[in-house]
Amino acid sequence: MYFYCTTLVGDYHKVGISSSLIGVKKRLTTYRSIAPSTKILFFTQVDNGEDLERSFKNKFGDQRIGRSECYNLRSDIIFSHVLKYIHRDQIHNIYKKDKFIKKEIFKTKELFGIWRRDSYNLSNYYLDGGYSALDFLGNKESKYFKYEHLDDPIQPYELTENEIYRWDILKGFFPVSRIVEENKRNKNNQIIEKSRKSILFFCDLSTKKKFSEFIKKKREFLNQYYNKKTYVEQVDLFDGFIKQYYKKKIFTKDNNPHSFFHEYLYDCLKTNVPHLLKGYKHNFENTYGNKFSNAHKRLPYSRKIKNLFKNTNFRKKNFGLKAALSKNSYYSMDDIILFLKEMTDFPTIDYFNVNKNKLEILQKIRRIHNKHSRDAFVIIEKNLEDLKKNEE
C-alpha cells in the first residue's frame, strides 16, 4: 500500500492511499481535472494504509476540510506525522498455553521507502541527516522549515512512466539493495525448481564508520551519475557501483531476502541514526483499543496550535491579491476604489499573548498606516473627480 501527499491545492494538501504507484498516478490525473498544477509532494509504502489515513482523521480533525481527505496543514507537519506513525510503538497480546499473560509493545521495523523492481529505495531522510535531505523541507534552520512557494518551487513527482518504470534513482530516495533471481534450465528449457535462488546485493551499514563511508561514496556517485549524458551510461555506472560497494548474499527458494533485508536495514539505522527512528509512544492509559496507538490521539484544539500548524503561505496570498486586483481592473472606477479601501483596511491587533514592546510597535505601525491610507484616498478621489469632469 502506498501513502501519498499532494502539493498545495489552494491552502491545503490532499492525502490518500493506493495499492500501487500506477494507482497514485491515476489519482493525480483525477485531481488535475480540478487543479491542473497538482503534483505529488511525497509518497511511501506503508503496511497499513487505511490505519494511517484514519489517524489523520482522528488526530487532525480540526484541520480537515469538511469530510474530504484534505488538510490545511504545513507539509512538514504531514510528513512528521507519517514518519512518527511508521516508527510508532505497536502492541500485541502474549499468550501461554492459550492463557492471556500480558500486553507487549513492539515495532514492525517499518521505514520510509519503497520496493521498486526488486530494489529497495530508502528515503534520503535517513541517509543524509533528516529533514534537510528532502527537497520540500530543505534549508531547515533550527525549528523552521522551508515551505512551498510559487517563486521558489519545489521539485515534486509527476509520476511519469520514466519515474515509475525506468529511472533507477528517484528524487528523494536511494536504492540500497537489489535482488536478482537465478535458476537453471533442463534440456527442454524448463526451470529446475531446486536450482532457484535469489541473490541479494545490499549496502553495508552495520557500523558508524561503514555508514559514513557509504554516504560519502553515494554523494560522489550521484555527482557522476547526473553528469552522464545518456541513460545507458547512467545504468552502467550504477551497475558498477553495486558490484563494487554492495555485499552479496544468496537465498534459496525457501528463504525470503525481502524480510531479511528489512530487518537488517532497520537494525543498521537504529545503530547509526536512532534519533531518526522516533515515533508515537504507546500509552496504555490513552489507548484506543489494541489496534490504535497515540498516533490516533486527537490533537487538542487551541488557537495557538491552529495558527502554528496551518499553511501560512504569504506568497500564495500575495498571488491571490494580484489576481483579485487584475480582475477588478475590468470593473468601474468606483468599484475599484471600494475594493482598494477594503483591502487596505488594517485589521485590529490581537492583544493576547503579544510582547508589550512588540504591541507598541504594531500600534504605531497601525496609526501610521491608517493616517496615510486616508490621505492617499483623498488624493485618489480628487483625481477621480477630475477624470469624471474631463470625460463630461
Give the residue with greater pLDDT, 20 vs 353.
20
Give residue 195's region: left, alpha or beta (phi > 0; psi -120 to 50): alpha
174 confidence band (pLDDT: 50, 70, 90): very high
- Check residue 203 and give its pLDDT: 93
Provide mean pLDDT across the span 142-156.
51
- Check residue 316 and give its pLDDT: 54
- Check residue 144 and give its pLDDT: 47
> What amino acid is encoded at 148 in this protein?
E
126 confidence band (pLDDT: 50, 70, 90): very high
Q: What ranges in the chain are assigned the alpha helix state H?
A: 21-32, 49-59, 75-86, 124-127, 161, 208-225, 231-245, 257-272, 303-309, 314-328, 333-343, 356-391
Provide mean pLDDT across the span 265-283.
89
pTM of structure? 0.74
Contacts for 345 with CB less than 8 Å, ≥ 6 apart:
none
Q: How far is CA 138 from CA 98, 283, 284, in A?
A: 51, 33, 36
Do 16 and 4 contact (CB within 8 A), yes or no? yes
SS3 of residue 220 by DSSP: helix
Residue 343 CA to residue 286 CA, distance in Å, equals 47
**Can you say how many angstroms the Cα of residue 49 is from the centroid of all Cα atoms in its chain?**
15
Residue 211 CA to residue 276 CA, distance in Å, equals 14
Residue 291 CA to residue 281 CA, distance in Å, equals 13
Provide mean pLDDT across the span 289-314.
73
Provide mean pLDDT across the span 291-307.
77
The overall average pLDDT reported for the chain is 81
- Check residue 142 and give its pLDDT: 38
- Check residue 146 and give its pLDDT: 45
Decide if pLDDT at 106 tops 80. no
SS3 of residue 73 by DSSP: coil
Provide mean pLDDT across the span 21-38.
88
Decide if pLDDT at 200 tops 50. yes
Question: In the chain, what are the domain boundaries?
Answer: 2-307, 331-391
The share of the chain scoring above pLDDT 90, in percent, equals: 31
102 confidence band (pLDDT: 50, 70, 90): confident
293 confidence band (pLDDT: 50, 70, 90): low
The per-residue DSSP string of 154-203 comes to ---B---HIIIII-SS-TTEEE-EEEEEE--B-TTS-B-GGG-EEEEEEE
Highest-scoring range by mean pLDDT, 96-110, 162-176, 213-227, 284-298: 213-227
